Amino acid sequence: MLDKAGILKDVKILVGLKDDSTKDALLSILIDGSVNLIKDLCNDDFTEAVPNDRFPSTLSDVVMEITIARYRKLGFEGKESERLGDYQVAYSVEDIPKSTLYRIYRHRQMRVY
């Protein structure tokens, strides 16, 4: 079973919000969205009712990575770069790094129609 409270605690530490509970609701929404994205990419809803079909514990770190990436991109969605005089910043446009996608795809289920 996925420990969302533990993931929330770890995400808060990693983004520097350890003692700040004002962003808990936002982070919880991002965690739920990350879990749903992983379920979609894996073609599996990891239903507890199906034997041995639980959310893999190895994907907990992936949930944290995606949540942190999405949290840090808030306010910068759709921006590719920004220029201020001679100073220019380029932003990553990929939502999920390829290395993270490879970790998700190891748990991917084949769809049969």
- Per residue in 64-104, pLDDT (tens digit) is 999 998 898 887 766 777 888 888 877 666 678 888 888 99
Q: Is 110 within the bounds of a domain?
A: no
Q: Is 112 within the bounds of a domain?
A: no
pTM score, two decimals? 0.80
Q: Is 113 within the bounds of a domain?
A: no
Q: Is 38 within the bounds of a domain?
A: yes
Cα dihedral: 94, 3, 5, 99 (round 10): -20
pLDDT at site 99: 87
Q: How many structural domains does the chain have? A: 1
Position 5 pLDDT exceeds 80:
yes
Q: Is 9 within the bounds of a domain?
A: yes
Q: Is 71 within the bounds of a domain?
A: yes
Amino acid at residue number 17: L
Domain containing 96 equals 4-105
pLDDT at site 92: 67
Q: Is 78 within the bounds of a domain?
A: yes
